[in-house]
Homo-oligomer: A and B are copies of this chain.
């Protein structure tokens, strides 16, 4: 049985923090794992800025509700899920993901959780586990699934390298240069063809 593991931000929806930063006009919130590969360092930076500007979870949620999946992403995911199994592995938080998952027709999502206090303030976050994307791919493989992983960023490389197959979707040039052996796709129809190829030989 085939399982496709997809990163969320940059692959199916825009980067949530960047979109939020632009809407509220705080340039320091534009950094992502593309800029700071260490995720905890990045998150502590973000949380400090939120505290400084007194921005609560509900403020962020209001912006997220206005974010749409990338053009073509909904059709891509629908077509993929009509033919095989696909799960989204993300470093985002359940509190952010809801409205985006609804727009993507509710694929299964493995992600993290924010720790929110009674005053709507984000006090911290809880990673489900360190390197959670890689562990998820390993878990699927332990269930005798053939896993293909797709991502765009540094935090996707360990899951891509652990999967049976993998590719980059619209990565920054630096990652493409550092990992010349990985297939790179820029359009959903190309990516869909790559993902459905292993199925063609199995199902008549």
Interface residue ranges, A against B (CB under 8 Å): 1, 78, 81-82, 85-87, 94-95, 98, 102, 105-113, 116, 118, 128-129, 132, 135-136, 139-140, 142-145, 203-204
Contacts and interface: CB of A to CB of B under 8 A. Distances in A.
Nearest to A1: B128
Instruction: Name the 10 nearest CB pairs between A and B, nearest first.
Output: A139-B139, A108-B108, A81-B106, A128-B144, A129-B144, A1-B128, A139-B143, A85-B108, A135-B143, A136-B143
A136 B203 CA distance: 24
10 contacts: A1-B112, A78-B106, A108-B108, A110-B143, A116-B204, A128-B145, A132-B143, A136-B143, A139-B142, A139-B143
A102 B142 CA distance: 27
The secondary-structure label for the interface of chain A is mixed
Nearest to A83: B98
A142 B135 CA distance: 9
A1 B129 contact: no
A60 B112 CA distance: 42
A203 B135 contact: no
Contacts of A116: 204
Given A116-B204, A128-B144, A105 B106 contact: yes
Given A95-B203, A108-B85, A143 B118 contact: no
A110 B146 CA distance: 12
A107 B81 CA distance: 9
Nearest to A128: B144
Given A102-B82, A108-B87, A118 B1 contact: no
A122 to B, nearest CB: 12
Nearest to A139: B139
Contact of A111 (B1, B112, B118, B136): B1
